[in-house]
Structure 1
Amino acid sequence: MITRIVKLEIQPDKALEFRKIFAENQKSISGFPGCHEVRLVHSNSNDQTHFTISLWENEESLENYRHSELFGKIWPTVKPWFAEKAQAWSTVSF
């Protein structure tokens, strides 16, 4: 199992729109083959700082999503709203 954590700094005037796009696509992402869960959280001290946390069956499932039509629809929409480059980590549970 892989937990993918992505830190996203969103421009202040785009934060609500970003959350809306995530909410509209959350079920589709969670339903993607190999995805067990995806959620969005944000910092309680900085409204710009968001994290997506997703649980994947394996690295192949994550890579399949990253090369999917769904990802290709979402990422280009939200990427211009970033205040900084996204940071991502994949972790494995022991």
Structure 2
Amino acid sequence: MLNNSHLSQMLIRYVRMSFQEDKVTDFLSVFEESKEKIRAMKGCQYLELMQDLHQPAVFMTHSHWLSEEDLNAYRDSELFRATWARTKVLFADKPLAFSMESVIVV
């Protein structure tokens, strides 16, 4: 049985995005310009971009946040609004977002 003093919780966010094939380079430019700013947001502990092995126009962001409040503060920020406005026009399909809570034995 785990003792609660050995647990820490973190919100893990996945966002799956499908892009128009001719817009992938545009998206990668947007991500490159914004990634360090996102990583610097309060509560962001980790951010990576993954590309589907067999569908090169499909990407997924994977980020770790200290709390849902921190994620929501980012989502309410001017940085998110500006980045999302540049990104969403490149989509081929509606993005899918998942927020998961991690319980990590430390």
Which TM-score applies when normalising by structure 1?
A: 0.97
- Cα-to-partner distance string for 1:3-55 (whole Å, 9 max, x where unaligned): 10000001100101101110111100000011011111110100111001110
Alignment of 1:46 with 2:51, yes or no, is no
Residue 94 of structure 2 aligns to a residue whose secondary structure is coil
> Structure 2: 5+ residue runs without aligned partners?
1-9
Q: Distance in 1 between matches of 2:33 and 2:83?
A: 10
Equivalent in the alignment of 1:31: 40
Question: Moved runs in structure 1, 4+ residues, more than 4 A?
Answer: none
Alignment match, 1:76: 85
Max Rg structure: 2
Distance 2:29 2:53 in 1: 18
Please give the secondary structure, in 1, of the residue aligned with 2:16: strand
Partners in 1 of 2:13 and 2:101 — Cα distance? 9
- Corresponding residue number in structure 1 for 2:98: 89
Aligned partner of 1:14 in structure 2 is 23
Aligned-residue offset at 1:2: 0.6
TM-score of the pair, normalised by structure 2: 0.86
Aligned mates of 2:17, 2:28 — CA distance in 1: 12
Two-structure CA RMSD over aligned residues (Å):
0.7
